């Protein structure tokens, strides 16, 4: 029994390592995105690390779930390019919007309303969210691998296969698939390590674009508790709050229900996610959500909070060993992201393709998430279309009142975004 327990812990630790390396790019990418909104990248990197570490700790202790919480890639873009750039709010005001949205999210999560909302979402849409995010991850992974690029006569085109990064990624993909099919424990992590060693041996590593200076940690206080509520009485402020709340709540429902191996842990995981979103605003970064890359660790066998705890510990360790992160090329991590996305897309088998009223809204979610690079846009189109399809087919009684309310709210979100 003791031997089995030790082996189980080893699996969880390896799962935590894998999840961390799959999502580690967020440490660099999130500050770069928020920098476009005015938040200093050299300080935002600390906020990203602290918010992720706290989130993983809460997920481990409160929910005992193998989920990594980090600032979300979709919502950080909404924070910067919609709230700040398009709507004209300063980043301090955007943090205030994030805080109120997260507090609403938390209020829903700790009451019965959270479960009611989760139950009101049709299963086909839940599966679609998971599959759509999976396809989004595949796109991200292929881009990181430089296997696809923006096309001249098309949206996407094949990348240059003579590019060393593309070749490294293909090697990593072959190794990862081999280890996965052979059920090698820690196979993804081993593949990352092999590609990293080869990349550095032949000097193929791309340097990070943010130089992290630990001496600037003392300046980090400039991002703490700086929310600006001066626009709280304006309509645009509350429209932004509504949109961000919708993204937080339904993206979290879709991600958690799609990722969690044990759905019994949804309630506490949902609450841990909401509390971390509140804290992230206070810490000076965009809201956190469950990282889709957590699936990489779950595939490795992660089932408990130990996986999240290991991930959180690694985020803290990056403060000391962050120079080492620069030696892990995107080509080493990309194959894990691609395979993880493919595994998430297996949820398609649970959608009834024969019922077009269920399939078409799901289809909109699946294709629009990657095509628009926005989880919120995919959700809005799918949730707005679902009740509409039921009305068109004369089956409106199949849905409860809340489903129609959600459909109208998401339709209003689309109208609001179109007006920006």
- According to the model, what pLDDT value does residue 314 have? 95
CB 256 within 8 A of CB 118: no
CB 12 within 8 A of CB 307: yes
- According to the model, what pLDDT value does residue 150 have? 85
Averages of pLDDT over each 10 residues, the chain, 420 residues: 70 93 83 88 92 97 97 84 87 97 96 86 87 85 89 87 93 94 82 91 70 78 95 91 87 88 93 97 96 89 95 92 74 85 88 95 94 82 95 91 90 78
Question: Whole-angstrom Cα distance, residue 288 to residue 53?
Answer: 11
Vertex 192 angle, CA 191 and 194, to 5°: 65
- According to the model, what pLDDT value does residue 3 have? 55
CB 251 within 8 A of CB 75: yes
Q: How far from chain centre, in Å, is Cα 235?
A: 29
Question: Whole-angstrom Cα distance, residue 395 to residue 358?
Answer: 11
- According to the model, what pLDDT value does residue 207 have? 55
Map out the domains of the chain as residue ranges.
1-346
CB 362 within 8 A of CB 126: no
Query: Quick check: helix, strand or coil at residue 109?
Result: helix
- According to the model, what pLDDT value does residue 41 have? 86
Tokens 């909302």: give the residue: 117
- According to the model, what pLDDT value does residue 325 have? 67
- According to the model, what pLDDT value does residue 127 have? 87
């Amino acid at each position: 029994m003791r031997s089995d327990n030790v082996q189980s812990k080893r699996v969880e630790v390896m799962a935590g390592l894998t999840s961390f390396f799959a999502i580690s790019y967020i440490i660099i990418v999130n500050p770069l995105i928020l920098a476009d909104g005015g938040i200093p990248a050299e300080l935002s990197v600390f906020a990203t690390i602290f918010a992720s570490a706290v989130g993983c700790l809460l997920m481990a202790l409160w929910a005992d779930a193998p989920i990594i919480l980090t600032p979300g890639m979709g919502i950080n873009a909404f924070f910067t390019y919609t709230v700040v750039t398009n709507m004209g709010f300063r980043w301090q005001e955007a943090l205030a919007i994030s805080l109120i949205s997260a507090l609403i999210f938390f209020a829903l999560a700790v009451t019965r309303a959270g479960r009611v909302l989760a139950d009101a979402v049709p299963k086909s849409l839940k599966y679609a969210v998971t599959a759509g995010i999976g396809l989004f991850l595949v796109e991200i992974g292929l881009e990181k691998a430089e296997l696809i690029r923006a096309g001249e006569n098309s949206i996407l085109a094949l990348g240059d296969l003579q590019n060393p990064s593309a070749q490294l990624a293909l090697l990593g993909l072959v190794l990862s698939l081999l280890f996965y099919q052979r059920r090698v424990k820690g196979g993804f992590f081993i593949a990352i390590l092999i590609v990293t060693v080869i990349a550095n041996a032949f000097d193929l590593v791309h340097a990070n674009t943010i130089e992290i200076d630990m001496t600037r940690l003392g300046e980090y206080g400039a991002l703490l508790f700086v929310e600006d509520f001066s626009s709280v009485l304006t309509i645009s402020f509350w429209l932004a709050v509504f949109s961000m709340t919708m993204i937080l709540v339904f993206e979290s429902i879709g991600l958690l229900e799609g990722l969690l191996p044990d759905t019994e842990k949804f309630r506490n995981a949902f609450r841990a996610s909401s509390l971390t979103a509140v804290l992230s605003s206070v810490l000076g970064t965009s809201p956190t959500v469950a990282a889709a890359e957590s699936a990489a660790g779950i595939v490795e066998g992660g089932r408990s909070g130990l996986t999240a705890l290991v991930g959180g510990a690694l985020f803290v360790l990056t403060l000391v060993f962050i120079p080492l992160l620069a030696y892990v090329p995107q080509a080493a991590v990309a194959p894990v992201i691609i395979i993880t996305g493919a595994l998430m897309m297996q949820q398609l088998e649970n959608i009834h393709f024969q019922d077009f009223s269920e399939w078409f809204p799901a289809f909109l979610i699946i294709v629009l998430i990657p095509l628009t690079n926005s989880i919120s846009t995919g959700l809005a189109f799918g949730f707005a279309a679902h009740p509409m399809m039921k009305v068109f087919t004369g089956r409106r009684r199949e849905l409860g009142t809340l489903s129609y309310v959600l459909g109208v709210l998401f339709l209003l979100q689309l109208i609001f975004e179109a007006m920006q």
